[in-house]
Amino acid sequence: MASFYKKYIPYLLLTLLFFSLTYILKNIQFKERKTTFSQKFKEIYKDTPTVEIAGFNEAEQWQGNFTLDSLRSFDGATGMNLSSENQIQKKVTLQKQMNLSGYENIYVYVYAQSKEMIDNIEEFSVGFSLKDKSETMAPITGFHEGWNLVTIPMKLFKPPPSNFKEIDSVFLLLSSKKRVSTQISMDRLWTQKDVKNINIFSEFKPQFLNLKTIGKSTYLQTSSPEITNVVLNKEVKNDFSYVVGFAPEKYGVFGMSFQTDKTNKNGYYFEASGQQMDSWRLYKREEGKETMLASGSFKNNVFEKGAYLWLMAEKKGDKIDISFSINSQLFTPIIQTKDNSFKKGFVGIYSKGSYLIDSLEVKE
C-alpha cells in the first residue's frame, strides 16, 4: 500500500494542482467591462440642427462701424464691439439668406463692461430684412454686467413678418442716450430647437448648455465665462472607465469629474487648463476642500481648436488611471496614482470656455 502511494502521489498532487489553478483562474480572470452608459450626441441631435445666424468672426462680411475683439469673445476667436454716443444710432448689417420659420427663440451672447454701459443704452435691437424689402426688429434686453446668454422670443419682432422663411440679411442697432456713450459686445447669434435628452443631466446651468451645428453634425455645446459643472445621472462604483470626447472652440478649462456627489463637494476631478490648455491636474474634493493628487504639463499641443480629443478616467479599487486619445481607440497614459477616498459616485464634465461635446461613455 505504501508503495502505491509512493508511486502515484506525484500524479495526485499534479491533479490537485491542476484543478486548484483552474478554479483560481476561473474566479480571478479579467472581466471585460461592458458599456453601461453611452451618449453619442451627433446621433441624438441629427434631426435638430441649429441655424448659426452670426459668429462675429473675420470671415463674415459685416457692413458698418464696428470692431472685432479677440479679448471679448465668448464662443469663438472674436466677438463684435458696437459703440454709440450722444444718441447716434450705429447699425451693422450682414447679408445672409436664412430660413428661421418654426423656431420660437433666437439667442445671443452679450457682454456689458459695467452697469453704466447698460443704463446708457437708448436702443439695442436685432432685426431682419426680408426679400420683400420689409424689416422686422426685436429689442435685446434683460442682461447684466459681464457675459450673458440673452433669449429673444420670435413673437417680439415688430412689425410681425408674414413668415421668417425669406430672410435676406440680419442687422444690429445700438444707440446711447443723450450726452453719454455706451459699448456692448456680442458673440454667437443663433437659433435651435429644445435640447433633447436633458434628463441625463442631474445638475447644470441650462443657459450655458446648448446645441451647435458644424457642417452636417450637431453637437452638445458647453460654453461659459465661469466654471460650469454638468453632473450626469450615472453612478459608478470602483471598477469603471469613463470617456469624454470633445473639441475645444475657445480655450479655458475642461475637466471630467468622477465618483462625485451631486453637489460637487466630494469626488475626483481631472482638468486641463492654461493659455494653450497645456497644464493638467488631478485632485479630489472632500466637503469642498481640494487636495492635489498629481499635476503636470502636456509635452505636445494635445489640445487644438476644432480637433477632437478623448479623455479617459479609469478606476479599479484604489488605482486611478488618466489617459487621452486623438482617435478614441489608442490611449496614451497621462498619470497613474492611487487613492481610495470614494467608493462610488456620479460622473460629469465641467468647463470654462467653449467646447463641443461629441460623446460620453461609461464601461463597468
Same domain, yes or no: 253 and 273? yes
Residue 13 lies in a domain: no
Last residue of a domain, one of 126, 157, 191: 191
Cell of 149: 446668454
Q: What is the reported pLDDT for 28?
A: 45
User: Residue 25 above 50 pLDDT?
Assistant: no
**pLDDT reading at 315 higher than 60:** yes
Q: Is residue 12 included in any domain, yes or no?
A: no
Mean model confidence pLDDT for the chain: 91
SS3 170: strand
**Could you give the number of structural domains in the chain?**
2
Q: Are residues 353 and 218 in the same domain?
A: yes
Q: Which of 162, 191, 220 is the last residue of a domain?
A: 191
Instruction: Give me the domain span that covers residue 317.
Output: 35-46+195-363
Shared domain for 324 and 208, answered yes or no, is yes
Average pLDDT score over residue span 253-282: 96
102-152 pLDDT, tens digit per residue, is 999 999 999 999 999 999 999 999 999 999 999 999 999 999 999 999 999
Residue 213 within a domain = yes
- Residue 205 near residue 227, CB atoms below 8 Å: no
Q: Could you tell me if 183 and 207 lie in one domain?
A: no
Same domain as 221, residue 351: yes
67 located within any domain: yes
Q: Are residues 155 and 205 in the same domain?
A: no
Instruction: Say if residue 280's pLDDT is above 60.
Output: yes
- Which range of 23-27, 145-149, 229-233, 331-335 scores highest in mean pLDDT? It is 331-335
Looking at the structure, tell me whether residues 42 and 64 fall in a common domain.
no
pLDDT at 32: 87
Q: How far apart are CA 211 and CA 40, in angstroms?
A: 13
Q: Based on the fold, state whether residues 201 and 168 are members of the same structural domain.
A: no
221, 298: one domain: yes
Pick the more confident residue, 199 or 324.
324
Which tops the pLDDT comparison, 357 or 205? Answer: 357
What residues contact residue 268 under an 8 Å CB cut-off, 6+ apart? 257, 258, 259, 260, 282, 283, 284, 293, 313, 315, 320, 339, 342
Last residue of a domain, one of 171, 191, 211: 191
Looking at the fold, whether 187 and 293 belong to one and the same domain comes out as no
Mean pLDDT of 15-25: 55
Please give the pLDDT value at position 22: 52
Q: How confident is the model at residue 3 (pLDDT cuts 50, 70, 90)?
A: low
- Regarding pTM above 0.75, the answer is yes
